[in-house]
Amino acid sequence: MVIDILVDERCGLDLVLDDQCAQIQYWSHDLTTAVINLLDWPAVALPVTFADKETDVNDATYKGISPLDTEIHNDYDADIYHGAPVSVQVIGRRLQEEYVIGLAEQIGVALSL
């Protein structure tokens, strides 16, 4: 089986606010982007929607799989992140930059972005 394109979450973390910049350990858990960069695969971050404080509320019953997961989940504040972009990452095979950009444009058109 050959996969030409992979559409994945951009990052499983909230936006990093100015006062969180010292908490660099969050960024070390963005393994998807790190692996894609190490493999030299082209990728495009594509905003697909925006956070909405009415629908994207923090789930009080959430049980994290690790203390860091719980901390990241608890850092989410719907009022702060309201209007922030939510993105996916369109990932292609090595040396297929034009194909990835073209597909990202088609996805954007299909989603009416």
First vs last Cα of the chain: how many Å apart? 31
The structure's pTM equals: 0.68
- What is the average pLDDT across 5-34? 62
Q: How far apart are CA 76 and CA 50, in angstroms?
A: 14
pLDDT at 98: 95
- What is the average pLDDT across 1-21? 66
* Side chain identity at residue 62, one-letter code: Y
Instruction: Give the residue from 93, 63, 79, 76 showing the smallest Cα distance to 12.
Output: 76
pLDDT at 19: 58
Q: How confident is the model at residue 102 (pLDDT cuts 50, 70, 90)?
A: very high
C-beta of residue 76 within 8 angstroms of C-beta of residue 58: yes
Q: How far apart are CA 44 and CA 98, in angstroms?
A: 11
pLDDT at 15: 60
- What is the average pLDDT across 10-21? 58
4 compared with 21, residue with greater pLDDT: 4
29-86 per-position pLDDT tens digit: 566 777 888 899 999 988 888 889 999 888 889 999 988 788 878 878 888 888 888 8
Instruction: Give the residue from 45, 59, 60 showing the smallest Cα distance to 15.
Output: 45
